[in-house]
Structure 1
Amino acid sequence: MSRRRLLPLVGLVALVLTAGCAGFFGSQPVSDEQLDEDPPSPYVWDNEVNAHITITENARFQAVYRLDRTRMELFRRDGFGGRNAIPVSAVRYRYPNGTVITGTELVARGGAINRSRERVSVRLPADAPDDGGGRLAFTSSSTPKRFSLPTFVNGSYAVVLPPNRRVEMFPFGKVSPRGYEVTPADDRRVIRWDSVESDSVSVQFYLQRDLLIFGGAAVGLGIVGAVGALYYKRRIDALREQREELGLDVDTDDEFRDDPPPGMG
């Protein structure tokens, strides 16, 4: 390929890397609208755990993390060992003295919230304590009837299920890691760990009516199976009687004797 033909190709590649596809390899600030969006419900700032997660009914969750550092990366692991950034909105930071600021105020005070393909990087404000301190809260998306997220901080955890959800009945309910305790809170269940040191926390839950639906379906299938078995048994009996009436029901003792076929003995 001549140099004259190569130059436009090089220019096109450079344009792609510096323009529309740059976000694939680099990072971009999260929009102000997302950062300052109102959370679905007030964040639970006053809690005694290092990570407090409230799962809502519309497959979203609200997380409040107690920080011991000035930076944090938010992501999910895919099935191939890689990472994917999670969508974040309604970002809030609360200083140790109780002052709460929005995501745009966090950025204006020297912090940063940037998103790449692999992660959302959060840097606390310049006036945050050197050891992090305070709490970081955000809202993100989840999966219906299942919550799973890496453990961004170690220590105590609490996961609040949506109303009328349960985890007690296996295999519809599963919780990882072990060592948890489930306590009622009105129409909700709260799953607590005194200390989480695993790579992730995962909760699969169900609606109470799901068990009734499944039980009804199981009973229905059992009835259908029993009726089907009875039907085929009656058909077999009817065919046997029909063979007997037509004289087709012959003695088969000689038919299957061990003697060789005629002419082969």
Structure 2
Amino acid sequence: MRRTLAIVGLVGLVFLAGCGGTAVDDAALNESAEYDWNTTEAVTITVEHSEYRYVYTLDDDSEVRLALRDELLGTQPVSISAVKFRYQNGTVANASALSVEEQNKHTVVTFPESAGQFAYTASSPARSLTVPVVTNRSHEVRLPPDMRISLPVFGGANPSGFESANQGERVVLTWSSIESDRIEVDYYQERDLLLFAGLLGVLVLVAGAGVAYYRSRLRRLQEERIAAGFGVDDER
């Protein structure tokens, strides 16, 4: 009987641990950041070279669950910082107005109201962006200044169906609606193409020099064989 109760208790603890959330670092959540609240899309993502700033206009939402699926690690929570909430009257509050927890491999953010705007900052690798989609409404991605996506292999965006426009130094991608669970963008700077072309040219020169050396060496061996009295056809 005691063993049965112990097992039941252990199962209960495991269940509660799975349902309960883990608090996120308050220092990171309360970091300072500037957000553009004057957006016309449901989600606006402004990308810098090592991070992105995310602004979401709520539509009767009580919470969002942020996670990305990794092929090796599985579902992983998105690490966020500089959390803000903008009330409908224009008042901007910091992380103390929201509840942020890691729960079941998701970062769960609970809002103080079901209307307003929620913003956060997250790290992003150079030349690429991967962001979870929490609504199928419109999205806008603003690339870093002087970055492009128009050349295949070097750049591109998923899902398809977006519009691209130049706004000052930035390329802006817009989706009127999204059915995917993520947005992925690869981008490049035009000087990257020059560097790649230069590297490719060096490789071509090295390869050409190698072929020329091989042919020269082969011709010299043939001449040495002939000089030694061996014909080219002697080995047949």
What is the TM-score of this pair, normalised by structure 2?
Answer: 0.86
1:84 to 72, 76, 87: 76
Q: Which residue of 1 aligns with 2:32?
A: 38
* Cα shift at 1:213: 0.8
Q: Which residue of 1 aligns with 2:169?
A: 187
Q: Which residue of 2 aligns with 1:233?
A: 215
Greater shift, 47-56 or 93-102, is seen at 93-102
Name the amino acid aligned to 2:62.
Answer: T
Q: Is contact 1:172-1:205 (8 Å) kept?
A: yes
Tell me the distance in 2 between the aligned counterparts of 1:32 and 1:143. 24
Instruction: Note the alpha carbon deviations across 1:9-44, whole angstroms, 9 max, x for none.
Output: x9xxx8xx79xxx978742233432222101xx211
Q: Which residue of 1 aligns with 2:22?
A: 28
- Report the RMSD for the aligned CA atoms in angstroms: 2.5
Q: CA 1:61–1:251 in 2, change beyond 3 Å: closer, same or farther?
A: closer
Q: Which residue of 2 aligns with 1:259?
A: none
Q: Is contact 1:67-1:153 (8 Å) kept?
A: no
Between the aligned residues of both structures, percent identity stands at 34
Name the amino acid aligned to 2:229.
Answer: G
* Cα shift at 1:230: 1.2
Task: Show structure 2 runs of 5+ residues with no match.
Answer: none
Q: CA 1:88–1:228 in 2, change beyond 3 Å: closer, same or farther?
A: same
* Cα shift at 1:96: 2.1
Task: Please tell me whether residue 205 in structure 1 is matched to residue 187 in structure 2.
Answer: yes
Task: Please tell me whether residue 218 in structure 1 is matched to residue 200 in structure 2.
Answer: yes
Q: Is contact 1:96-1:133 (8 Å) kept?
A: yes
How many pairs align? 227
Q: Which residue of 1 aligns with 2:109?
A: 122
Tell me the distance in 2 between the aligned counterparts of 1:142 and 1:238. 56
Q: Which residue of 1 aligns with 2:51?
A: 60
Secondary structure at 1:249's aligned position in 2?
coil
Q: CA 1:250–1:102 in 2, change beyond 3 Å: closer, same or farther?
A: closer
Tell me the distance in 1 between the aligned counterparts of 2:32 and 2:17. 26
Secondary structure at 1:196's aligned position in 2?
coil
Tell me the distance in 2 between the aligned counterparts of 1:184 and 1:157. 16
Instruction: Note the alpha carbon deviations across 1:108-139, whole angstroms, 9 max, x for none.
Output: xxxx22123611111111xx2xxx22111011
Tell me the distance in 2 between the aligned counterparts of 1:29 and 1:241. 79
Greater shift, 136-145 or 23-32, is seen at 23-32
Task: Show structure 1 runs of 5+ residues with no match.
Answer: 257-265
Q: Is contact 1:175-1:204 (8 Å) kept?
A: yes
Tell me the distance in 1 between the aligned counterparts of 2:188 and 2:149. 7
Task: Decide which structure has the larger Cα Rg and report it.
Answer: 1
